[in-house]
């Protein structure tokens, strides 16, 4: 069976950045399962896996536009210290949930604490990065009607993974 829309695909993968550093890997864990054609994974990886089958090895380089987007400098903002009232010490690397301009919530990371304010970054941590995936396809099966209706993979016992 080859990978196409409406199929459940299990993969083992290692994700490295442009410098060869490992960012994420399924090694030592259960394989990642996703529903093909349902935007469960980034577009650049999904399209590279189409037509492959169990046992295939796939190496693919994904540009930011087909991954987590370009780095957006407008998402880096300096906010007044008062916005962090009640937090004892604000330090670089801390994450906060902020309200976005459209009312949705957005995770921001503190980049710098300066006299004039706190520099926060709302970009996805992998925004702007070229990603290298090394994938081994483990299993390909047809999705159930219920999985197709929900748009995601269910456990073998019918439960939700998430």
Residues that bind Zn ion (CB under 5 A): 150
- Burial pattern 131-162, b for ≥16 Cβ within 10 A else e, equals bbbebbbbebeebeeebbeeebbbeeeeeeee
**Residue closer to Zn ion, measured from CB, 19 or 146:** 146
41 Cβ neighbours under 8 A, 6+ residues apart: 32, 34
The H-or-E segment that residue 148 falls in is helix 145-150
Q: How far is CA 124 from CA 72, 90, 108, in A?
A: 10, 20, 9
Q: How far is the CB of 147 from Zn ion (least distance, A)?
A: 7
Q: Nearest approach, Cβ of 125 to Zn ion (angstroms)?
A: 27
Rank residues 132 and 150 by Cβ distance to Zn ion and give the closer one. 150
CB of 24 to Zn ion, least distance (A): 24
Q: Nearest residue by C-beta to Zn ion?
A: 150
CB of 156 to Zn ion, least distance (A): 13
Q: Is the dihedral of CA 71, 32, 48, 56 positive or negative?
A: positive
């Amino acid at each position: 069976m080859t990978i196409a829309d409406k199929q459940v695909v299990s993969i083992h993968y290692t994700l490295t950045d442009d410098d060869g550093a490992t960012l994420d890997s399924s090694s030592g864990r259960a394989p990642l399962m996703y529903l093909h054609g349902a935007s469960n994974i980034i577009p650049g990886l999904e399209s590279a896996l189409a037509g492959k089958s169990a046992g295939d090895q796939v190496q693919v380089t994904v540009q930011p536009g087909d991954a987590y987007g370009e780095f957006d400098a407008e998402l880096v903002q300096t906010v007044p210290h008062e916005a962090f009232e009640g937090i004892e010490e604000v330090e670089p690397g801390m994450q906060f949930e902020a309200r976005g301009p459209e009312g949705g919530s957005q995770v921001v990371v503190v980049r710098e604490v300066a006299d004039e304010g706190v520099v926060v970054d709302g970009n996805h941590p992998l925004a702007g990065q070229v990603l290298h995936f090394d994938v081994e396809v483990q299993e390909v099966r047809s999705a159930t009607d219920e999985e197709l209706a929900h748009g995601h993979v269910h456990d073998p016992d019918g439960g939700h993974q998430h």
